[in-house]
Amino acid sequence: MAFRMHGAPDEEDLRPIDPGTLRRVFATYVWPYRRRVASAAAAMVLVSVTGLLPPYLLGVAVDRCVIPGDLRGLTLLALVYVGVHLVNWLGSYYQTYTMSWVGQRAIYAMRRDLFAHYQRLHIGFFEKHPVGVLISRATNDVESMSELISSGIVYIINDALTLVGIVAIMFYLDVRLALLSMMVLPLVILLATRFRSRVMAAYREVRRQVAKMAANLQETISGMRVTQSFVREEVNRTRFDATNRDNYRANMRAAYLFSTFVPLVDLVGALGMAVVIWFGGLSVIGALRGAAGAVAGPAGAGGLTAGELIAFLTYVTRFYQPIRDLTVVYNLAQQATAAAEKIHAILDTPPGVEDRPGARDLGPVRGRIVFRDVTFAYVPGEEVLRGVSFTVEPGQRVALVGPTGAGKTSIINLLGRFYDPQEGAVLIDGQDIREVTQRSLRRQMAFVLQDTFLFSGTVADNIRFGRPAASLEECVEAAKAVGAHEFISRLPEGYDTQVGERGGNLSVGQRQLVSFARALIADPRILVLDEATSSVDAYTEVLIQRAMDRLLEGRTCIIIAHRLSTVRDADLILVIDDGRIVERGRHAELMAAGGLYRRLYELQFSSSEAGGRAPHRSGPPGPAVGGRPDREETRDPAENIAPRRGG
């Protein structure tokens, strides 16, 4: 039986077996296949029985056929021996295949539930948990459960039945010899106990070293551009080499302990075997000489036959194998318990934002948005929006501007219902968005972000991401409308070109154009642009600006703007500072008012004149009013909508 260690790199402990945790796993994912498990259990009984017969048949063959010279009986027993092994093989095949099927179905369902739950969890959950850990939950941890279900159950039942059967047969053959062979059993149990505690400590160290190595590797790869820019390759190589060496040593320590345990058990078993050979041999010799009284061994008056001794020795040899296997299965169950607890911790995490009972679908909307006295905090007691109220009429273009940390993206997060406000309400066409299903709400919207996230697949696949049923012709029309068709046509395979992971085969500007086409083909009534043109070059920005009228036609649009030059034509500009709307109006009105908007505008353009170009990032530090950085200022494409915590 192979000894394999599973689990996420961050696991630093293997916990005691919790029957309740494993019971929940089996009740949820194995119980639906109880008939198959029952049939596999019947096959396990058959395998155990047929596995116990060969030594007994061997003894019978020696006593009743070989010594008397019964060739016919020997031939018959040989055929029976082959038949028993054939039945054993068929039973082993059936039990192994069936339990593997059950195990694979169980982990399929477990991964399906885990993935579905991931998609229901709120954005804040993913900000607290590293991506690598969440991936490990659905891979390594689930695989630990698979091995317990597929192999662990088989070994537990087979080994338990085999152990009981061997003990019963040994006592049937010779009680005193059986008791003598059991004398070394306490030593085997002691070795197994010490092995378990020491090897678990060793593997805890292995997990710690794997965690350090994985963190080092992930950081180095993610920051490769910075590494090469500052010529840190040699330093990083030395650091990784040290971590890798520590991991090697920890694994070798664990391998040493495990490789020591099995030979020690075999050595103890050899002692037991020696006892059986000595006293059993005396008994056989006495029986053969016909002098039971003079050279009587522990078997008593009758002694042992040669065939019985051979059978007994074979059973003694097999006696220690189930003990070794059950020790390993115990370790496997420990891993599975730890893995199951981590999986359940995720599955038991509430989504955060859920559809209310009886929530109705939001039908086609005109796009009137109302924020009514909204107060919101990511962390209780740390409000990032305070009493925000405004109205956006259908078809209006409204810009949100303000210094870093003001709360601009928090407003967008509430509009998309990625979070719910603690006070107040957000309404679309007069309907509180908490009273409608999230799915129907978000089908009315499209988001175009500064850092565009494209998925692996073709260009066409990414354009039709929000409407999978869209035809290639519709994809082409959408691309033409936003000025993306020209560069897509020049790609090696046009719309069938693979974009690579995160769209790495395309430039920043090209990815942004694809995201515009993706938004257009989804045909949303409400469009959110989060500084959508700040990452593109001047030529691409001209293309996007030309296509903007087409994209925004008849749609309500909310624009988060850091470059104020892009919002001068907005129907309404909301100036946000420290979670409040401090000014509102059109560009000319706000400039005339001489407030925060004008200061931001003048400072930004004075910086532009001094530096030769307008800054692409958020506003200047001068006018900012306290507060922590707003969530929207961290641009992690993997988060797509909501940025990291901060305001």
The pLDDT tens digits of the residues spanning 464-490 come to 888 888 889 889 988 888 878 888 888
What residues contact residue 163 under an 8 Å CB cut-off, 6+ apart? 319, 322, 323, 326
Q: What does pLDDT average to over the chain? A: 79
> What are the structure tokens assigned to 96, written together?
């192994």
Q: Is residue 336 over pLDDT 90? A: no
- In CATH terms, is domain 369-444+528-533+556-647 a member of 3.40.50.300? yes
Q: Determine contact, residues 454/462, Cβ cutoff 8 Å.
A: yes
Query: What does the alpha-carbon distance between residue 437 and residue 354 come to, in Å, rounded to a whole number?
Result: 8
Q: What's residue 615's pLDDT?
A: 41
**Which of 105-109, 283-287, 522-526 shows the lowest per-residue confidence on average (mean pLDDT)?**
283-287
Q: What's residue 297's pLDDT?
A: 42
Show the DSSP H helices in 348-432 as ranges: 408-415
Mind spelling out the 3-state secondary structure of 302-335? CCCCHHHHHHHHHHHHHHHHHHHHHHHHHHHHHH
Residue 549 binned pLDDT confidence (cut-offs 50, 70, 90): low
Q: Determine contact, residues 403/625, Cβ cutoff 8 Å.
A: yes
What residues contact residue 67 under an 8 Å CB cut-off, 6+ apart? 306, 307
> What are the structure tokens assigned to 624, written together?
């900012």
Q: What's residue 631's pLDDT?
A: 37
Helices 233-289 and 306-347 pack at an angle, to 10 degrees, of: 150
What residues contact residue 598 under an 8 Å CB cut-off, 6+ apart? 590, 591
**Which of 205-214, 451-460, 578-587 shows the lowest per-residue confidence on average (mean pLDDT)?**
205-214
Residues of the chain with pLDDT > 90: what percent?
16
The pLDDT tens digits of the residues spanning 239-271 come to 888 888 888 888 888 788 777 777 887 787 788
Query: What does the alpha-carbon distance between residue 282 and residue 299 come to, in Å, rounded to a whole number?
Result: 9
**Beta pairing partners, 388:** 374
Q: Is residue 504 over pLDDT 90? A: no
Q: What's residue 548's pLDDT?
A: 66
The pLDDT tens digits of the residues spanning 596-625 come to 988 888 887 665 554 444 443 333 333 333
Compute the average pLDDT of residues 77-83.
Answer: 93
**Would you say the CATH fold of 369-444+528-533+556-647 matches that of 15-174+339-351?**
no
Q: Determine contact, residues 199/258, Cβ cutoff 8 Å.
A: yes
Give the number of C-alpha atoms closer than 13 A to the C-alpha of residue 346, restricted to the C-beta side: 28
Beta strand 397-401 with 369-379 is unpaired
∠ CA 330-333-334 to the nearest 5 degrees?
Answer: 90
End-to-end CA distance of the chain: 54
Q: What sign does the dihedral 486-487-493-497 (CA atoms) show? A: negative
**Beta pairing partners, 446:** 527
Residue 18's SS3 state is coil
Q: Determine contact, residues 597/619, Cβ cutoff 8 Å.
A: no
Residue ranges covered by each domain of the chain: 15-174+339-351, 175-303, 369-444+528-533+556-647, 448-523
Query: What does the alpha-carbon distance between residue 468 and residue 436 come to, in Å, rounded to a whole number?
Result: 23
Q: What's residue 629's pLDDT?
A: 36
Q: Which residues of 61-83 are buried (b: 16+ CB within 10 A; e: fewer)?
A: bbbebbeeeeeeebeebeeebee
Query: What does the alpha-carbon distance between residue 439 and residue 442 come to, in Å, rounded to a whole number?
Result: 5
Q: What's residue 400's pLDDT?
A: 92
Q: What sign does the dihedral 175-181-183-185 (CA atoms) show? A: negative
Provide the CATH number for the domain formed by 15-174+339-351 in this structure. 1.20.1560.10
Q: What is the pTM of this model?
A: 0.68
The pLDDT tens digits of the residues spanning 19-62 come to 788 888 888 888 999 999 999 989 999 999 999 999 999 989 98
> What are the structure tokens assigned to 226, written together?
């910075």
Q: Determine contact, residues 465/446, Cβ cutoff 8 Å.
A: no
Q: What's residue 239's pLDDT?
A: 86
Strand ranges of the sheet holding 572-577, from the earlier edge strand across to the other edge = 445-448, 526-530, 556-560, 397-401, 572-577, 580-585
Query: What does the alpha-carbon distance between residue 278 and residue 295 come to, in Å, rounded to a whole number?
Result: 13
Radius of gyration of the chain (CA): 36
Residue 290 binned pLDDT confidence (cut-offs 50, 70, 90): low
Q: Is residue 194 over pLDDT 90? A: no
Q: What's residue 601's pLDDT?
A: 84
The pLDDT tens digits of the residues spanning 570-584 come to 899 999 998 999 999
Tokens 């990815």: give the residue: 511
Tokens 């929530």: give the residue: 359
Query: What does the alpha-carbon distance between residue 567 and residue 550 come to, in Å, rounded to a whole number?
Result: 17
Higher pLDDT, 323 or 574: 574
Q: Which CATH superfamily is domain 175-303 in?
A: ABC transporter type 1, transmembrane domain (1.20.1560.10)
- Please report which helix (H) or strand (E) contains residue 428, including its range: strand 423-428
Mind spelling out the 3-state secondary structure of 212-233? HHHHHHHHHHHCHHHHHHCCCH
Beta strand 580-585 with 572-577 is antiparallel
Query: What does the alpha-carbon distance between residue 73 and residue 69 come to, in Å, rounded to a whole number?
Result: 9
Residue 301 binned pLDDT confidence (cut-offs 50, 70, 90): very low
Query: What does the alpha-carbon distance between residue 574 and residue 390 come to, in Å, rounded to a whole number?
Result: 9
CATH architecture of 448-523: 3-Layer(aba) Sandwich (3.40)
